[in-house]
Amino acid sequence: MTPLSGDEIKYDRVWNGFDYALQVWVVDGIIQGCGHPAQMQAQGCCNAHKLAGKSVLDVPRAENRKKRK
C-alpha cells in the first residue's frame, strides 16, 4: 500500500492505510511501528514508534475522515 492508493475508512478513521494527522501507517485499525533503528527509537524518534500497537480509535488526534453529505 502506498500513500497514493485508496485508504480503507472504518468508524470515520483510517482502518487500513496512512493517517496523515498522526503520520503513521494503520493496519486493521492498529498503528504500525516505524522500523527506525533501535538507537533512534531509544530517543523517541517519531509518532509511529510512540503509538505502535495502539488502536487508531483510542488516539484522539487520529485523522477523522467523516463522510460529508
Residue 66: predicted pLDDT:
83
* Cell representation of residue 55: 488502536
> pTM for this structure?
0.83
Tell me the pLDDT band of 68, cut-offs 50, 70 and 90. low
Top pLDDT among 1 and 63 is at: 63
What is the mean predicted confidence (pLDDT) over 43-60? 94
66, three cell numbers = 467523516
Summarised one tens digit per residue, pLDDT across range 15-48 is: 999 999 999 999 999 999 999 999 998 888 998 9
For residue 26, give the nearest of 37, 38, 10 by alpha carbon. 10
**Helices vs. strands in the chain: H and E counts, helices first:** 2, 4
Strand partners, 24: 19
